[in-house]
Amino acid sequence: MINNEFKNKLFEAAAANDISDIELFFLSSKSDSVSVYKANVENFESSSKSGIGVRGLYNGVMGYYYSEIVEDKDIPNIIDSIKQNAGIIDSSDEEFIFGGSKSYAKVNVYNEELNSYSVDDKISAAIEMEKIALEYDPRIKSVSSSVVASGESEVYISNSKGLELSEKSNYLMAYVELIAEKNGSTKEKGEIWIGNKPSDLDVVKVAKNAADKAISALGGSSVPSGIKNVIMQNEVFAEILGCFASSFYAESVQKGFSLLKGKIGEKIAADIVTISDDPLLEDGRSTTAFDSEGVATYNKTVVENGVLTTYLYNLKSAHKDGVESTGNGFKSSYKGTVNTSATNFYIKGGNVDISTLKKKLNNGLIINDIAGLHSGANVITGDFSLAASGFLVEKGEIIRPVEQITIASNFFELLQNIEEIGNDLYFTSYGMGSPSVLVKDINVSGE
Protein backbone atom coordinates (compact mmCIF):
# COMPACT_ATOMS: atom_id res chain seq x y z
CA MET A 1 0.00 0.00 0.00
CA ILE A 2 1.14 3.55 -0.68
CA ASN A 3 1.90 5.55 2.46
CA ASN A 4 0.39 9.00 2.96
CA GLU A 5 3.74 10.72 3.31
CA PHE A 6 4.83 9.64 -0.17
CA LYS A 7 1.45 10.54 -1.66
CA ASN A 8 1.43 14.01 -0.10
CA LYS A 9 4.96 14.77 -1.27
CA LEU A 10 4.08 13.61 -4.78
CA PHE A 11 0.96 15.78 -4.95
CA GLU A 12 2.84 18.80 -3.59
CA ALA A 13 5.60 18.35 -6.18
CA ALA A 14 2.99 18.10 -8.93
CA ALA A 15 1.35 21.37 -7.90
CA ALA A 16 4.73 23.09 -7.75
CA ASN A 17 5.47 21.96 -11.31
CA ASP A 18 2.23 23.17 -12.90
CA ILE A 19 0.65 19.71 -13.10
CA SER A 20 -2.95 20.75 -12.56
CA ASP A 21 -4.31 17.37 -11.44
CA ILE A 22 -2.52 14.17 -10.51
CA GLU A 23 -3.65 10.64 -9.71
CA LEU A 24 -1.93 7.65 -8.15
CA PHE A 25 -3.12 4.13 -9.00
CA PHE A 26 -1.67 1.22 -7.01
CA LEU A 27 -2.32 -2.45 -7.71
CA SER A 28 -0.91 -5.49 -5.94
CA SER A 29 -1.65 -9.18 -6.36
CA LYS A 30 -0.41 -12.52 -5.16
CA SER A 31 -1.34 -16.11 -5.92
CA ASP A 32 -0.52 -19.73 -5.07
CA SER A 33 -1.16 -22.62 -7.42
CA VAL A 34 -0.79 -26.36 -6.88
CA SER A 35 -0.85 -28.93 -9.67
CA VAL A 36 -0.83 -32.68 -8.99
CA TYR A 37 -0.22 -35.69 -11.22
CA LYS A 38 -0.72 -39.30 -10.11
CA ALA A 39 -1.34 -38.16 -6.54
CA ASN A 40 1.98 -36.28 -6.35
CA VAL A 41 2.64 -32.57 -6.47
CA GLU A 42 3.78 -31.85 -10.01
CA ASN A 43 4.15 -28.10 -9.71
CA PHE A 44 3.81 -25.39 -7.09
CA GLU A 45 3.89 -21.74 -8.01
CA SER A 46 3.74 -18.73 -5.75
CA SER A 47 3.91 -15.21 -7.12
CA SER A 48 3.36 -11.65 -6.03
CA LYS A 49 3.63 -8.37 -7.85
CA SER A 50 2.72 -4.75 -7.37
CA GLY A 51 3.21 -1.42 -9.00
CA ILE A 52 1.94 2.10 -9.38
CA GLY A 53 0.69 4.11 -12.29
CA VAL A 54 0.79 7.87 -11.93
CA ARG A 55 -0.92 10.20 -14.38
CA GLY A 56 -1.19 13.94 -14.40
CA LEU A 57 -2.54 16.80 -16.52
CA TYR A 58 0.20 19.09 -17.79
CA ASN A 59 -0.82 21.89 -20.15
CA GLY A 60 -4.15 20.10 -20.57
CA VAL A 61 -2.54 16.84 -21.75
CA MET A 62 -2.30 13.65 -19.69
CA GLY A 63 1.17 12.33 -18.98
CA TYR A 64 2.03 8.96 -17.45
CA TYR A 65 4.57 7.17 -15.26
CA TYR A 66 4.77 3.51 -14.20
CA SER A 67 7.00 1.64 -11.79
CA GLU A 68 7.09 -1.48 -9.65
CA ILE A 69 8.90 0.22 -6.79
CA VAL A 70 8.69 3.85 -5.71
CA GLU A 71 10.39 5.84 -2.99
CA ASP A 72 10.52 9.51 -2.06
CA LYS A 73 13.72 9.95 -4.06
CA ASP A 74 11.83 8.93 -7.22
CA ILE A 75 9.36 11.83 -7.04
CA PRO A 76 11.41 14.26 -9.22
CA ASN A 77 11.72 11.57 -11.89
CA ILE A 78 7.96 10.90 -11.74
CA ILE A 79 7.19 14.59 -12.24
CA ASP A 80 9.69 14.94 -15.11
CA SER A 81 8.35 11.81 -16.83
CA ILE A 82 4.76 13.04 -16.68
CA LYS A 83 5.73 16.42 -18.17
CA GLN A 84 7.86 14.88 -20.92
CA ASN A 85 5.25 12.25 -21.70
CA ALA A 86 2.50 14.86 -21.94
CA GLY A 87 4.67 16.87 -24.33
CA ILE A 88 4.92 14.10 -26.91
CA ILE A 89 1.38 12.71 -26.78
CA ASP A 90 -0.57 13.67 -29.87
CA SER A 91 -4.26 13.18 -29.17
CA SER A 92 -7.33 15.36 -29.44
CA ASP A 93 -9.22 13.22 -26.92
CA GLU A 94 -9.74 14.97 -23.61
CA GLU A 95 -8.85 12.94 -20.52
CA PHE A 96 -9.91 13.53 -16.94
CA ILE A 97 -8.95 13.13 -13.32
CA PHE A 98 -12.22 12.29 -11.55
CA GLY A 99 -13.16 13.91 -8.26
CA GLY A 100 -15.38 11.06 -7.05
CA SER A 101 -18.99 9.89 -7.11
CA LYS A 102 -21.60 10.88 -4.53
CA SER A 103 -21.68 7.39 -3.04
CA TYR A 104 -20.24 3.92 -3.54
CA ALA A 105 -21.94 0.59 -3.04
CA LYS A 106 -20.61 -1.89 -0.52
CA VAL A 107 -19.53 -5.14 -2.14
CA ASN A 108 -18.32 -8.32 -0.50
CA VAL A 109 -15.42 -9.49 -2.66
CA TYR A 110 -12.95 -10.50 0.05
CA ASN A 111 -13.49 -13.58 2.20
CA GLU A 112 -11.35 -13.84 5.33
CA GLU A 113 -12.05 -17.58 5.48
CA LEU A 114 -9.82 -18.07 2.46
CA ASN A 115 -6.76 -16.86 4.41
CA SER A 116 -6.76 -20.10 6.41
CA TYR A 117 -7.00 -22.31 3.30
CA SER A 118 -3.42 -23.60 3.27
CA VAL A 119 -1.17 -25.04 0.60
CA ASP A 120 -1.76 -28.47 2.15
CA ASP A 121 -5.50 -27.91 1.76
CA LYS A 122 -4.97 -27.15 -1.95
CA ILE A 123 -2.82 -30.25 -2.40
CA SER A 124 -5.42 -32.46 -0.72
CA ALA A 125 -8.23 -31.01 -2.82
CA ALA A 126 -6.29 -31.43 -6.07
CA ILE A 127 -5.37 -35.04 -5.24
CA GLU A 128 -8.95 -35.86 -4.30
CA MET A 129 -10.27 -34.27 -7.50
CA GLU A 130 -7.86 -36.35 -9.57
CA LYS A 131 -8.77 -39.55 -7.69
CA ILE A 132 -12.51 -39.01 -8.09
CA ALA A 133 -12.15 -38.39 -11.82
CA LEU A 134 -10.06 -41.53 -12.38
CA GLU A 135 -12.44 -43.73 -10.41
CA TYR A 136 -15.61 -42.27 -11.88
CA ASP A 137 -15.73 -44.41 -15.02
CA PRO A 138 -13.37 -46.93 -16.69
CA ARG A 139 -13.44 -44.82 -19.84
CA ILE A 140 -11.52 -42.09 -18.01
CA LYS A 141 -7.96 -43.05 -18.88
CA SER A 142 -5.94 -40.23 -17.41
CA VAL A 143 -6.12 -36.85 -15.71
CA SER A 144 -3.79 -34.46 -17.49
CA SER A 145 -4.24 -31.62 -15.04
CA SER A 146 -5.65 -31.20 -11.55
CA VAL A 147 -5.09 -27.71 -10.18
CA VAL A 148 -6.22 -25.76 -7.13
CA ALA A 149 -5.16 -22.13 -6.82
CA SER A 150 -5.98 -19.06 -4.80
CA GLY A 151 -5.09 -15.42 -5.01
CA GLU A 152 -5.91 -11.94 -3.85
CA SER A 153 -5.50 -8.42 -5.14
CA GLU A 154 -5.77 -4.88 -3.81
CA VAL A 155 -6.39 -1.66 -5.70
CA TYR A 156 -5.91 1.86 -4.35
CA ILE A 157 -6.72 5.12 -6.13
CA SER A 158 -6.00 8.60 -4.82
CA ASN A 159 -5.87 11.94 -6.61
CA SER A 160 -5.42 15.63 -6.03
CA LYS A 161 -9.17 16.23 -6.32
CA GLY A 162 -9.77 14.44 -3.04
CA LEU A 163 -10.65 10.98 -4.33
CA GLU A 164 -9.37 8.08 -2.22
CA LEU A 165 -10.64 4.54 -2.72
CA SER A 166 -9.41 1.04 -1.99
CA GLU A 167 -10.74 -2.47 -2.46
CA LYS A 168 -9.45 -5.97 -1.73
CA SER A 169 -10.68 -9.12 -3.41
CA ASN A 170 -9.69 -12.78 -3.38
CA TYR A 171 -10.56 -16.00 -5.17
CA LEU A 172 -10.25 -19.77 -5.06
CA MET A 173 -10.07 -21.82 -8.25
CA ALA A 174 -10.21 -25.53 -9.02
CA TYR A 175 -9.62 -26.99 -12.47
CA VAL A 176 -9.42 -30.52 -13.79
CA GLU A 177 -8.72 -31.70 -17.33
CA LEU A 178 -9.00 -35.36 -18.26
CA ILE A 179 -8.98 -37.80 -21.16
CA ALA A 180 -11.70 -40.35 -21.95
CA GLU A 181 -11.24 -43.16 -24.46
CA LYS A 182 -13.34 -45.93 -25.97
CA ASN A 183 -12.99 -47.92 -29.20
CA GLY A 184 -10.32 -45.60 -30.57
CA SER A 185 -12.29 -42.44 -29.84
CA THR A 186 -10.49 -40.06 -27.50
CA LYS A 187 -11.77 -36.84 -25.94
CA GLU A 188 -10.12 -34.36 -23.61
CA LYS A 189 -12.38 -32.09 -21.56
CA GLY A 190 -12.09 -29.87 -18.53
CA GLU A 191 -14.13 -28.22 -15.82
CA ILE A 192 -13.38 -25.08 -13.80
CA TRP A 193 -14.87 -23.71 -10.59
CA ILE A 194 -14.18 -20.23 -9.21
CA GLY A 195 -15.39 -18.63 -5.99
CA ASN A 196 -13.93 -17.30 -2.76
CA LYS A 197 -15.54 -19.57 -0.19
CA PRO A 198 -13.61 -22.82 0.44
CA SER A 199 -16.79 -24.37 1.82
CA ASP A 200 -18.40 -23.94 -1.60
CA LEU A 201 -15.71 -25.90 -3.43
CA ASP A 202 -17.14 -29.30 -4.37
CA VAL A 203 -14.28 -31.27 -5.92
CA VAL A 204 -16.59 -34.23 -6.52
CA LYS A 205 -18.86 -32.12 -8.69
CA VAL A 206 -15.95 -30.55 -10.58
CA ALA A 207 -14.42 -33.95 -11.34
CA LYS A 208 -17.69 -35.59 -12.35
CA ASN A 209 -18.71 -32.70 -14.59
CA ALA A 210 -15.40 -32.93 -16.47
CA ALA A 211 -15.75 -36.69 -16.79
CA ASP A 212 -19.33 -36.49 -18.04
CA LYS A 213 -18.31 -33.96 -20.68
CA ALA A 214 -15.57 -36.22 -22.01
CA ILE A 215 -17.56 -39.45 -21.87
CA SER A 216 -20.63 -38.00 -23.56
CA ALA A 217 -18.52 -36.77 -26.50
CA LEU A 218 -17.00 -40.17 -27.31
CA GLY A 219 -17.87 -41.74 -30.64
CA GLY A 220 -19.08 -38.59 -32.33
CA SER A 221 -19.48 -38.13 -36.08
CA SER A 222 -20.53 -35.40 -38.46
CA VAL A 223 -23.99 -34.48 -39.79
CA PRO A 224 -25.20 -33.35 -43.23
CA SER A 225 -24.68 -29.69 -44.00
CA GLY A 226 -27.63 -27.34 -43.88
CA ILE A 227 -29.49 -24.57 -42.08
CA LYS A 228 -30.43 -25.92 -38.68
CA ASN A 229 -31.98 -24.88 -35.39
CA VAL A 230 -29.61 -25.34 -32.48
CA ILE A 231 -29.37 -25.09 -28.73
CA MET A 232 -26.20 -23.26 -27.82
CA GLN A 233 -25.30 -24.41 -24.34
CA ASN A 234 -24.64 -21.78 -21.71
CA GLU A 235 -20.84 -22.09 -21.75
CA VAL A 236 -20.73 -21.69 -25.53
CA PHE A 237 -23.03 -18.69 -25.75
CA ALA A 238 -21.25 -16.99 -22.84
CA GLU A 239 -17.99 -17.30 -24.81
CA ILE A 240 -19.63 -15.87 -27.93
CA LEU A 241 -21.12 -12.99 -25.95
CA GLY A 242 -17.69 -12.26 -24.51
CA CYS A 243 -16.13 -12.21 -27.96
CA PHE A 244 -18.55 -9.55 -29.20
CA ALA A 245 -18.99 -7.59 -25.94
CA SER A 246 -16.86 -4.75 -27.31
CA SER A 247 -19.65 -3.95 -29.77
CA PHE A 248 -21.49 -2.44 -26.80
CA TYR A 249 -18.55 -0.20 -25.79
CA ALA A 250 -19.00 3.47 -26.61
CA GLU A 251 -15.36 3.84 -27.64
CA SER A 252 -15.82 1.06 -30.24
CA VAL A 253 -18.93 2.82 -31.53
CA GLN A 254 -17.14 6.18 -31.71
CA LYS A 255 -14.22 4.69 -33.61
CA GLY A 256 -16.49 2.97 -36.12
CA PHE A 257 -15.69 -0.51 -34.81
CA SER A 258 -19.27 -1.45 -33.94
CA LEU A 259 -22.41 -1.95 -36.00
CA LEU A 260 -24.45 -0.63 -33.06
CA LYS A 261 -23.70 3.00 -33.89
CA GLY A 262 -26.92 5.04 -33.81
CA LYS A 263 -28.94 2.08 -32.56
CA ILE A 264 -29.86 3.36 -29.06
CA GLY A 265 -33.61 2.90 -28.65
CA GLU A 266 -33.77 0.45 -31.54
CA LYS A 267 -34.57 -3.24 -31.45
CA ILE A 268 -31.39 -5.29 -31.93
CA ALA A 269 -32.44 -8.63 -30.41
CA ALA A 270 -35.47 -10.84 -29.85
CA ASP A 271 -38.09 -9.58 -27.40
CA ILE A 272 -37.05 -12.16 -24.80
CA VAL A 273 -33.43 -10.97 -24.72
CA THR A 274 -32.28 -8.73 -21.87
CA ILE A 275 -28.56 -8.10 -21.34
CA SER A 276 -27.19 -6.59 -18.15
CA ASP A 277 -23.83 -5.33 -16.97
CA ASP A 278 -23.88 -5.77 -13.21
CA PRO A 279 -20.66 -4.91 -11.37
CA LEU A 280 -22.46 -5.31 -8.04
CA LEU A 281 -23.56 -8.91 -8.66
CA GLU A 282 -23.14 -11.03 -5.55
CA ASP A 283 -20.36 -13.60 -6.04
CA GLY A 284 -19.75 -12.22 -9.53
CA ARG A 285 -16.47 -12.83 -11.33
CA SER A 286 -15.95 -9.10 -11.94
CA THR A 287 -17.77 -7.53 -9.01
CA THR A 288 -16.39 -4.16 -7.89
CA ALA A 289 -17.67 -0.95 -6.31
CA PHE A 290 -15.69 1.37 -8.60
CA ASP A 291 -13.79 1.35 -11.86
CA SER A 292 -10.15 2.26 -12.48
CA GLU A 293 -11.09 5.94 -12.84
CA GLY A 294 -12.78 6.02 -9.44
CA VAL A 295 -16.31 6.17 -10.87
CA ALA A 296 -18.92 4.32 -8.81
CA THR A 297 -20.27 1.26 -10.56
CA TYR A 298 -23.92 0.30 -10.80
CA ASN A 299 -26.14 -2.29 -12.41
CA LYS A 300 -27.28 -1.25 -15.87
CA THR A 301 -29.53 -2.86 -18.47
CA VAL A 302 -27.78 -2.63 -21.83
CA VAL A 303 -30.47 -4.42 -23.84
CA GLU A 304 -34.01 -4.55 -22.48
CA ASN A 305 -36.57 -6.81 -24.15
CA GLY A 306 -34.52 -6.65 -27.33
CA VAL A 307 -34.02 -2.86 -27.34
CA LEU A 308 -30.55 -1.33 -27.00
CA THR A 309 -30.75 1.13 -24.09
CA THR A 310 -27.15 2.25 -23.54
CA TYR A 311 -23.52 1.80 -24.45
CA LEU A 312 -20.87 1.20 -21.82
CA TYR A 313 -18.77 4.29 -21.11
CA ASN A 314 -15.57 5.40 -19.46
CA LEU A 315 -14.99 9.10 -18.70
CA LYS A 316 -13.41 9.92 -22.05
CA SER A 317 -16.03 8.27 -24.24
CA ALA A 318 -18.84 9.65 -22.05
CA HIS A 319 -17.52 13.19 -22.50
CA LYS A 320 -17.59 12.73 -26.28
CA ASP A 321 -21.27 11.78 -26.18
CA GLY A 322 -22.21 14.33 -23.54
CA VAL A 323 -23.32 11.71 -21.02
CA GLU A 324 -22.08 10.36 -17.70
CA SER A 325 -19.68 7.45 -17.40
CA THR A 326 -21.34 4.12 -16.69
CA GLY A 327 -18.40 3.11 -14.49
CA ASN A 328 -16.80 0.89 -17.13
CA GLY A 329 -13.37 2.48 -17.37
CA PHE A 330 -10.78 -0.14 -16.43
CA LYS A 331 -7.06 -0.82 -16.60
CA SER A 332 -5.77 -4.34 -17.12
CA SER A 333 -2.83 -3.56 -14.80
CA TYR A 334 -1.19 -0.58 -13.14
CA LYS A 335 0.40 0.13 -16.51
CA GLY A 336 -1.32 1.55 -19.57
CA THR A 337 -4.28 3.77 -20.13
CA VAL A 338 -7.92 3.33 -19.22
CA ASN A 339 -10.10 1.44 -21.69
CA THR A 340 -13.69 0.24 -21.59
CA SER A 341 -14.53 -3.15 -20.16
CA ALA A 342 -17.72 -4.92 -19.17
CA THR A 343 -18.00 -6.38 -15.69
CA ASN A 344 -20.51 -9.17 -15.02
CA PHE A 345 -22.03 -8.98 -18.50
CA TYR A 346 -24.80 -11.49 -19.10
CA ILE A 347 -28.02 -12.46 -20.80
CA LYS A 348 -30.84 -12.69 -18.28
CA GLY A 349 -31.99 -16.27 -17.72
CA GLY A 350 -35.41 -17.60 -18.61
CA ASN A 351 -37.66 -20.16 -16.93
CA VAL A 352 -37.06 -23.15 -19.20
CA ASP A 353 -34.87 -26.10 -18.25
CA ILE A 354 -32.65 -27.94 -20.73
CA SER A 355 -35.12 -30.80 -21.09
CA THR A 356 -37.86 -28.40 -22.19
CA LEU A 357 -35.43 -26.66 -24.54
CA LYS A 358 -34.72 -29.99 -26.24
CA LYS A 359 -38.43 -30.64 -26.68
CA LYS A 360 -38.92 -27.19 -28.20
CA LEU A 361 -35.94 -27.77 -30.48
CA ASN A 362 -37.47 -31.10 -31.57
CA ASN A 363 -34.96 -31.73 -34.38
CA GLY A 364 -31.59 -30.02 -34.51
CA LEU A 365 -28.27 -29.80 -32.72
CA ILE A 366 -26.96 -28.99 -29.28
CA ILE A 367 -23.64 -27.14 -29.51
CA ASN A 368 -21.61 -27.59 -26.34
CA ASP A 369 -18.11 -26.82 -27.57
CA ILE A 370 -16.55 -24.40 -30.06
CA ALA A 371 -13.00 -23.72 -31.22
CA GLY A 372 -11.25 -20.89 -33.02
CA LEU A 373 -13.48 -18.17 -31.61
CA HIS A 374 -10.94 -15.36 -31.80
CA SER A 375 -9.50 -16.35 -35.18
CA GLY A 376 -12.85 -17.23 -36.72
CA ALA A 377 -14.84 -14.20 -35.59
CA ASN A 378 -14.96 -10.64 -36.89
CA VAL A 379 -15.79 -8.49 -33.85
CA ILE A 380 -16.73 -5.53 -36.04
CA THR A 381 -19.15 -7.15 -38.51
CA GLY A 382 -20.32 -9.87 -36.10
CA ASP A 383 -19.63 -12.67 -38.56
CA PHE A 384 -18.19 -15.93 -37.25
CA SER A 385 -17.32 -19.39 -38.49
CA LEU A 386 -16.29 -21.86 -35.82
CA ALA A 387 -15.39 -25.50 -35.44
CA ALA A 388 -17.99 -27.05 -33.18
CA SER A 389 -19.19 -30.23 -31.54
CA GLY A 390 -22.21 -31.33 -29.55
CA PHE A 391 -25.18 -33.64 -29.99
CA LEU A 392 -27.78 -34.57 -32.56
CA VAL A 393 -31.34 -34.15 -31.27
CA GLU A 394 -34.35 -35.87 -32.86
CA LYS A 395 -37.88 -35.60 -31.53
CA GLY A 396 -36.57 -33.80 -28.47
CA GLU A 397 -34.10 -36.51 -27.47
CA ILE A 398 -30.32 -36.72 -27.78
CA ILE A 399 -29.44 -39.37 -30.36
CA ARG A 400 -25.64 -39.27 -30.51
CA PRO A 401 -22.61 -37.01 -30.18
CA VAL A 402 -21.64 -34.80 -33.12
CA GLU A 403 -18.20 -33.57 -34.16
CA GLN A 404 -16.31 -32.38 -37.25
CA ILE A 405 -18.78 -29.64 -38.05
CA THR A 406 -18.53 -25.88 -38.53
CA ILE A 407 -21.19 -23.39 -37.50
CA ALA A 408 -21.45 -20.00 -39.15
CA SER A 409 -23.69 -17.02 -38.48
CA ASN A 410 -23.64 -13.39 -37.43
CA PHE A 411 -23.74 -12.33 -33.78
CA PHE A 412 -26.32 -9.61 -34.33
CA GLU A 413 -28.56 -11.97 -36.34
CA LEU A 414 -28.04 -14.55 -33.60
CA LEU A 415 -29.49 -12.17 -31.01
CA GLN A 416 -32.54 -11.61 -33.19
CA ASN A 417 -33.02 -15.33 -33.83
CA ILE A 418 -33.14 -16.45 -30.19
CA GLU A 419 -36.45 -18.26 -29.72
CA GLU A 420 -36.13 -19.53 -26.15
CA ILE A 421 -33.86 -18.95 -23.17
CA GLY A 422 -32.96 -21.51 -20.53
CA ASN A 423 -32.71 -21.14 -16.77
CA ASP A 424 -29.12 -22.40 -16.47
CA LEU A 425 -27.20 -19.11 -16.27
CA TYR A 426 -23.45 -19.71 -16.41
CA PHE A 427 -20.50 -17.32 -16.05
CA THR A 428 -17.05 -17.66 -17.55
CA SER A 429 -13.98 -17.06 -15.41
CA TYR A 430 -13.85 -13.46 -16.71
CA GLY A 431 -17.47 -12.52 -16.03
CA MET A 432 -19.37 -13.21 -19.27
CA GLY A 433 -22.66 -14.97 -18.63
CA SER A 434 -25.43 -16.71 -20.51
CA PRO A 435 -28.04 -19.43 -20.12
CA SER A 436 -28.49 -22.00 -22.86
CA VAL A 437 -30.40 -20.52 -25.79
CA LEU A 438 -32.45 -21.97 -28.62
CA VAL A 439 -31.52 -20.25 -31.88
CA LYS A 440 -32.96 -20.75 -35.35
CA ASP A 441 -31.25 -20.75 -38.73
CA ILE A 442 -27.60 -21.57 -38.03
CA ASN A 443 -25.50 -22.53 -41.04
CA VAL A 444 -23.94 -25.93 -40.29
CA SER A 445 -21.22 -27.41 -42.49
CA GLY A 446 -20.65 -31.11 -42.01
CA GLU A 447 -20.66 -34.12 -44.30
pLDDT tens readout for residues 143-171: 999 999 999 999 999 999 999 999 999 99
Q: Quick one: which of 164, 163, 161, 134 has its CA closest to 146?
A: 134
At 93 the pLDDT is: 76
pLDDT tens readout for residues 307-362: 999 999 999 999 999 999 999 999 989 997 899 999 999 999 999 999 999 999 99
Pair 131, 204: CB distance under 8 Å: no
Burial label for 237, CB within 10 Å (0-12, 13-18, 19+), is: buried
Q: Quickly count: other Cβ atoms within 10 Å of residue 69's Cβ.
A: 8
**Domain spans, the chain:** 112-154+167-216, 220-447
This model's pTM is above 0.85: yes
pLDDT tens readout for residues 224-258: 999 999 999 999 999 999 999 999 999 999 999 99
Instruction: Report the top-level CATH class of 112-154+167-216.
Output: alpha beta
Q: Quick one: which of 298, 344, 291, 333 has its CA closest to 314?
A: 291
At 1 the pLDDT is: 66
Task: Give me the mean pLDDT over the 387-415 stretch.
Answer: 97
Q: Please give the angle made by the CA atoms of 41, 38 and 137, to the nearest 5 degrees.
A: 140
At 69 the pLDDT is: 81
How many helices (H) does the chain have, and how many strands (E)? 9, 20
